[in-house]
Amino acid sequence: MIERYTLPEMGRVFSEAHKYEIWCEVETLALEAHAKAGTVPESAVEPVRKAPPPTPEAVTEIENVTQHDVIAFLSAWADNTTPREAAAYVHFGMTSSDLLDTALAVQLVEATDILLEKADKLVAALRDHALQHRATLRVGRTHGIHGEPDTWGHRVADFAFAMARSRDRLRRARESVAVAKISGAVGTYSNISPDVERYVADKLGLKPADVATQVVIRDGISEWVNALAIMATVCEAVALEVRHGQRTEVRELSEAFGKGQKGSSAMPHKKNPILSERIAGMARIIRAQMIPVMEGIPLWHERDISHSSAERIALPDAAIGTDYLLHITTRLVTGLVVYPERMRANLESSGGLIYTSAVLLELVEGGMSREDAYKLVQDAAMETWNTGRPFRETLREHAGDREIDEARLDEVCRPERYVERLGEVFDRLERLT
């Protein structure tokens, strides 16, 4: 992920320097477990523990010759170990993927914890915004066409619950990736005891893999990436609503526009929904990581490396991108400008057509057949569409001699009653954490 969209904390998780710190920790813990079991000399542990992690530059220099990243890391780290002979017992009985998969699990857990904290903030921002606008009337739209009265808070409540579910989905996915694998070349513990795996897993806050080949099968990691993709797409849903609401013809919403901000190099009047559009673009990048990661589930026999090159890109990009999306979506929501007067004006702009469904039901309850009631209401509505005359007028004309209870129409065509029906939704929203 490019620096423009990389926030410092998440960027560090996936930095080469931090990766080697984790690699050192995994190898040191495995060495400790061996020493406790008497497999290797106890005297080897302290020198290895004190050896500083190799720099990315040192590892790269060796890898340019070895063409093997783990061997390059072990050699560079051995150069930092005093006495160097102690490094002979590092990686004892392990295969490269024991180190790689266990360290990757640590990284994914660290990344997930950062994401969950930011998801909590976004859930809270959406919840609070929705409660603030629980009675802010607006028109509900389906297919982009006016449907029935609604409230802005109701729309945002939908996003709040969706983000809460996305957060909870990621919590479950965290368990799926928090897996240590230290079981040897094909996962049979041929040269290493399961006790080593259990020891390392416990120290790192992971659980031992139930079973592994040379690698941990990638269904858990795929679940994790899919959880990020869903979370990113919920962010996009919020952004799309703002983009629609900020259109000149609608003008119900607007992103915050700071002092000195410019909207266009050519048109000084422009105030564009740039955060929302950025969210939409970034969500595509995160969704795009699902397929290459899932394609790492089927590998040749006990393992090939077709998954690893894709994961080096896909996993950091998915985590860093989602981190950025949560950050700017929270910024979007907390700074969002809402125009209630414009919402009310748009609600009333169709001349009452948004009440056709309520009128239809009222006529049926009054004894008219549904077929006759539907035709009457639709004929009146179409005339309103074509002429712009208020729906109540066209309804009376098309009703002819049929009696229309004006008092009842006043009640069913009162937009505030839609607010009253939403009480349970907002009661649930108030309990959302």
Burial classification of residue 17, based on how many CB atoms lie within 10 Å of its CB (0-12 exposed, 13-18 middle, 19 or more buried):
exposed
C-alpha atoms less than 13 angstroms from C-alpha of 351 in its C-beta half-sphere = 16
Task: Please say if 369 is a catalytic residue.
Answer: no
pLDDT of 349 strictly over 80: yes
| Per-residue pLDDT, 408 | 87
- CA dihedral for 122, 123, 125, 126, sign (positive or negative): positive
| Per-residue pLDDT, 100 | 98
Residue 129 is classified by DSSP as H
Token pair of 167 as six digits: 């957060």
d(CA 311, CA 307): 6
pLDDT of 307 strictly over 80: yes
Give the largest CA-CA distance in the chain.
105
| Radius of gyration for the alpha carbons in the chain, expressed in angstroms and rounded | 30
- Candidates 43, 190, 264, 349; catalytic one: 264
CA-based angle 287:292:295, to the nearest 5? 125
Say if CB 191 and CB 182 are below 8 A apart.
Answer: no
| Per-residue pLDDT, 264 | 72
Burial classification of residue 386, based on how many CB atoms lie within 10 Å of its CB (0-12 exposed, 13-18 middle, 19 or more buried):
exposed
Burial classification of residue 432, based on how many CB atoms lie within 10 Å of its CB (0-12 exposed, 13-18 middle, 19 or more buried):
middle
Give buried/exposed letters for 388-411 (b at 16+ CB in 10 A, else e): eeebbebbeebbeeeeeeeeebee
pLDDT tens digits, one per residue of 57-98? 999 999 999 999 999 999 999 999 999 999 999 999 999 999
Task: Please say if 327 is a catalytic residue.
Answer: no
Band (257; pLDDT cuts 50, 70, 90): confident
Q: Which of 71, 46, 56, 74 is CA-nearest to residue 19?
A: 56
Which residue has 């049979």 as its token pair? 188
Band (354; pLDDT cuts 50, 70, 90): very high
- Residue 184 three-state SS: coil
The full 3-state SS of 32-55, as one line of letters, equals HHHHHHCCCCHHHHHHHHHCCCCC
The residue ranges of DSSP E strands in 75-144, in sequence order, are 137-142
Least confident of 235-239, 314-318, 409-413: 409-413
pLDDT of 263 strictly over 80: no
| Start-to-end C-alpha separation, the chain | 31
pLDDT of 131 strictly over 80: yes
d(CA 69, CA 408): 77
Q: Which amino acid is at 139?
A: V
- Backbone angles phi and psi of 263, in degrees to 5: -100, -25
Residue 298 is classified by DSSP as S
Which whole-number Å values give the CA distances from 23 to 90, 272, 359, in the listed order?
11, 45, 69
Q: Which of 336, 364, 308, 273 is CA-nearest to residue 129?
A: 336
| Per-residue pLDDT, 401 | 80
Can you say whether residue 301 is alpha, beta or left, with left for phi > 0 and alpha for psi between -120 and 50 degrees? left
